[in-house]
Amino acid sequence: MTPTDGIKNQALQRLLDELGRLPGVGPKSAQRIAYHLLEKDSEEARRLTDAILDVKSLVHFCPVCFSYATGETCDVCADSGRDHSIICVVSEPRDVSAIERTHSYNGTYHVLGGAFSPLDGIGEEELHVKELLSRLADGSVAEVILATNPDVEGEATATYLARKYLAPLNIKVTRLASGLPVGGELEFADEVTLGRAIEGRQAI
């Protein structure tokens, strides 16, 4: 092996290592992606690089709901045609996209930024709970939909918020109805199942 081969191998290994850090990308997937990029011209790699840099520089968290935004606020919060008297509380920004694909919901959102997980050191202070309560303070919100994932952490988060903070406010509190599998995640649910869950939500 020549010194040049060593440099090339180091560069390839660095790419494989970085790709392997991505969620859901194992060693074999990282190899497929890396070899695909190697087989394409530099322009395709440059477009991918530019797209990553653009999304990092242009996309930020909405200061109102903490979903992704490119403007001062996200498109949902800025839309006067949405029903701002309803807030759907989700764990992650990707859950907003999942619900929006159903075309069954016309309210607004609030992204907690995770779910309660004491073993991982994630409690109330690590989530956007105070900001949610601030949005409810003026009495303009009539309903809060708790749409955290139907797993142990998500159920614990929904129950905690409902009992400790939402019940005393005399606001209608609902939870996504049946249709979502226990232990599943919103981003992997199909549009029909998630749409039915939104439409069939129940008071808790």
Query: What's residue 143's pLDDT?
Result: 97
Instruction: Give the pLDDT band (50/70/90) at residue 178.
Output: low
DSSP state of 111: E
pLDDT digits (tens, 9 = 90+) for 15-71: 999 999 999 999 999 999 999 988 988 898 899 999 999 999 999 999 999 999 999
Average pLDDT, the chain: 90
User: Who has greater pLDDT, 138 or 6?
Assistant: 138
Q: What is the DSSP string of 18-43?
A: HHHTSTT--HHHHHHHHHHHHHS-HH
Q: Say if residue 1's pLDDT is above 70.
A: no
Q: Helix 27-39 and helix 3-20: axis angle, to 10°?
A: 120
What is the number of other CB atoms lying within 10 angstroms of the CB of residue 21? 8
CA angle centred on 3, ends 46 and 8, rounded to 5°: 25
Query: What's residue 151's pLDDT?
Result: 86
Kindly state the average pLDDT of the residues 171-180.
85
Distance (Å, whole) CA 11 – CA 18: 11
Distance (Å, whole) CA 172 – CA 80: 22
Query: What's residue 58's pLDDT?
Result: 93
Residue 170: which region, alpha, beta or left (left: phi > 0; alpha: psi -120 to 50)? Answer: left
Pairing of β 83-90 and β 143-146: parallel
Distance (Å, whole) CA 166 – CA 154: 16
Kindly state the average pLDDT of the residues 7-18.
84
Query: What's residue 181's pLDDT?
Result: 77
User: Who has greater pLDDT, 2 or 185?
Assistant: 185
Instruction: Give the pLDDT band (50/70/90) at residue 82.
Output: very high
Query: What's residue 187's pLDDT?
Result: 85
pLDDT digits (tens, 9 = 90+) for 92-128: 999 999 999 999 999 999 999 999 988 888 888 899 9
User: Who has greater pLDDT, 4 or 106?
Assistant: 106
